[in-house]
């Protein structure tokens, strides 16, 4: 009996951001790990692309892990699955250095909808996740940066009572009168860790001593929300807040009880005064794009992104969805701000699967350096505006 216990691989997810579904040990070095997934308040739109767990008891022998229960639906269309043949999970032996599984370590069974990774462990314990985690402890390090041009406030309190921090970056000595106001919001969807790395990189660049950063601080006020769905990030959720509401729908129907995060941020935006440009950051598995009012500012933003980052899409900016084709309760933040508040608001998607120009998936470092280029592109895009679309 003792021998059997010693042979067991132990899977745990009882830590910040952790998530795994039912786990079966098929053989000594073979696990089947269901992906827990998350459905909305009406048990629809299940999305299964966040897993973050630790395996203990590894030996230096090849291990096989099958990821199962991947099917769900998206925008009420059943049968979709976010995890696909292109998915490359990440792993770490110390929770500091994360790497993607290589192409020859990953196989995909289309008929069974199962992703399998095979690897030879380099330690007796490994962490595995869909993308490199960005947790509240990572945000805390950002909040603790001491800089005279950074101030931190709380823009919302989550359904479970957690604070949603807002970082304001500007050179107060430069005077407020002609400054552009730029908002960047990340992580409405908890699984989209890359967006928090973009926001983190943007903030670190803006607070740097680079002459370009000093100038951007003099000319702009940057308002940055690195983690919008703080409950989802802490509790290992995928897409919906803890009450089952999508933080990037429901902006037209926000409610203090069901969607307290949207409700509070929406009110803060209504009271924010001038907003020259608002950008919501998202991740997809397989596409980059910018969506919003296709004016000269958008054109300049996309031009800057193409010149100064690894942004991919040739078709951006994509036109904002017409008002009349948005169903009640389905408004995204950028649609709401644009149609209801006449704010120039965009959504940007950045892919997590293999980036063709890089020849590999974007790493956390790639997302972080994207943030620096994004800061410059946003500022350049609004430098010629009078403040209204
Ligand atoms: Zn998203």
For 240-280, the pLDDT digits (tens) are: 999 999 999 999 999 999 999 999 999 999 999 999 999 99
CA atoms within 13 A on the CB side of 370: 24
How many angstroms separate the alpha carbon of residue 124 from the centre of ligand 1? 34
Please tell me the distance between residue 282's alpha carbon and the centre of ligand 1 in angstroms.
4
**Domains of the chain, each with CATH number or no CATH:** 2-129 (2.60.40.3120), 136-382 (3.40.630.10)
Q: Examine the pLDDT at 37 and tell me if it is beyond 60.
A: yes
Q: Report the helix count and the strand count for the chain, using DSSP H and E.
A: 9, 21
pLDDT of residue 152: 98
Q: Identify the band that residue 175 occupies on the pLDDT scale cut at 50, 70 and 90.
A: confident
Residue 389's pLDDT is 44
> What distance, in Å, lies between the first and last C-alpha atoms of the chain?
71
Contacts of 252 (CB under 8 A, 6+ apart): 326, 328, 329, 330, 331, 336, 340
CA of 140 to the centre of ligand 1 (A): 22
pLDDT band at 6 (very low <50, low <70, confident <90, very high): very low
Tell me the CA–centroid distance for residue 382 and ligand 1, in Å: 24
Separation of 247 CA from ligand 1 center, angstroms?
A: 8
Q: H or E element: which one contains 12?
A: strand 10-12
Give the pLDDT band (50/70/90) at residue 3.
very low
pLDDT in tens, 316-335: 899 889 999 999 999 999 99
CA of 28 to the centre of ligand 1 (A): 37
Measured between alpha carbons, how far is residue 358 from residues 105, 226, 302, 353, 354 in Å? 19, 25, 19, 11, 8
CB atoms inside a 10 Å sphere around CB 262 = 27
Q: Which residues contact 321 (CB under 8 A, 6 or more apart)?
A: 291, 335
Bridge partners of residue 347, in order along the sequence:
280, 291
Angle, helices 296-308 vs 364-382, to 10°: value is: 140
User: From CA 165, how far away is CA 186, in angstroms rounded?
Assistant: 11
* 48 pLDDT tier (thresholds 50, 70, 90): very high
Decide if pLDDT at 1 tops 80: no
CA of residue 184 to ligand 1 center, whole Å: 14
Kindly give the distance from the C-alpha atom of residue 280 to the centroid of ligand 1, in angstroms, as a whole number: 9
User: What is the rounded CA–CA span in Å between residue 357 and residue 184?
Assistant: 26
Residue 313: predicted pLDDT:
87
Distance 167 CA to ligand 1 centre (A): 21
Ligand 1 midpoint to CA 315 (Å): 19
What is the distance in A from the centroid of ligand 1 to the CA of 52?
Answer: 18
- Residue 19's nearest CA partner among 196, 239, 249 is 239
Judged against a pLDDT cut of 70, whether residue 387 lies above it is answered with no
Predicted pLDDT of residue 386: 54
Contact in structure between 171 and 193 (CB atoms under 8 Å) = no
> C-alpha angle 278/281/284, rounded to 5°?
145
Q: Inform me whether the pLDDT recorded for 107 exceeds 70.
A: yes
Q: Average of pLDDT values for 72-84?
A: 92
User: How many angstroms is it from 283 CA to the middle of ligand 1?
Assistant: 6
Q: Residues 126-156: pLDDT tens digits?
A: 999 999 999 999 999 999 999 999 999 999 9
Distance 275 CA to ligand 1 centre (A): 22
284: Cβ contacts below 8 Å, ≥ 6 apart: 349, 350, 351, 352
- Looking at the chain, the whole-number percentage of residues with pLDDT higher than 90 is 92
Rounded to whole angstroms, what are the CA distances from 219 to 175, 222, 386?
9, 10, 13
pLDDT at 314 over 60: yes
Distance 291 CA to ligand 1 centre (A): 13
Expressed in angstroms and rounded, the spacing between residue 219 Cα and the centre of ligand 1 is 30
- Least Cα distance to 192 among 251, 232, 143 occurs for 232
When mean pLDDT is compared across 4-18, 284-298, 302-316, 320-334, the lowest value belongs to 4-18
Distance 248 CA to ligand 1 centre (A): 7
């Amino acid at each position: 009996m003792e021998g059997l216990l010693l042979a067991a691989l132990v899977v745990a997810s009882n830590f910040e951001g952790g998530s795994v579904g039912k786990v079966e040990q098929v053989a000594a070095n073979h696990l089947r790990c269901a992906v827990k997934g998350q459905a909305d308040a009406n048990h629809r739109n299940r999305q299964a692309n966040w897993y973050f767990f630790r395996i203990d008891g590894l030996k230096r022998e090849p291990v096989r892990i099958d990821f199962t229960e991947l099917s769900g639906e998206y925008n009420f269309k059943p049968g979709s699955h976010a995890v696909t043949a292109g998915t490359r999970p990440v792993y770490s032996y110390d929770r500091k250095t994360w790497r993607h599984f290589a192409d020859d370590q990953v196989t995909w069974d289309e008929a069974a909808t199962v992703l399998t990774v095979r690897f030879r462990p380099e330690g007796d314990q490994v962490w595995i996740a869909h993308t490199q985690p960005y947790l509240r402890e990572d945000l805390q390090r950002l909040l603790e940066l001491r800089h005279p041009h950074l101030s931190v406030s709380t823009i919302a309190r989550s359904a479970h009572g957690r604070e949603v921090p807002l970082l304001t970056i500007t050179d107060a000595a430069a005077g407020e009168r002609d400054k552009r106001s730029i908002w960047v919001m990340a992580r409405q969807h908890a699984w989209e860790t890359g967006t928090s790395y973009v926001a983190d990189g943007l903030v670190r660049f803006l607070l740097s001593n680079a002459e370009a950063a000093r100038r951007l601080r003099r000319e702009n006020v940057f308002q940055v929300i690195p983690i919008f769905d703080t409950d989802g990030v802490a509790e290992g959720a995928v897409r919906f807040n803890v009450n089952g509401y999508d933080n990037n729908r429901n902006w037209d129907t926000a409610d203090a009880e069901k969607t307290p995060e949207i409700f509070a941020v929406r009110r803060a935006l209504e009271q924010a005064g001038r907003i020259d440009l608002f950008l919501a950051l998202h991740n997809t598995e397989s596409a980059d794009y910018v969506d919003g009012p296709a004016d000269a500012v958008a054109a300049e933003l996309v031009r800057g992104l193409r010149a100064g980052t690894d942004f991919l899409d040739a078709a951006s900016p994509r036109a904002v969805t017409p008002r009349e084709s948005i169903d009640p309760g389905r408004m995204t933040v950028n649609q709401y701000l644009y149609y209801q508040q006449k704010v120039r608001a965009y959504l940007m998607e950045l892919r997590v699967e293999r980036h063709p120009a890089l020849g590999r998936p974007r790493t956390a470092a790639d997302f972080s350096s994207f943030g620096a280029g994004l800061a410059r592109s946003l500022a350049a895009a609004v430098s010629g505006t009078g403040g209204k679309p």
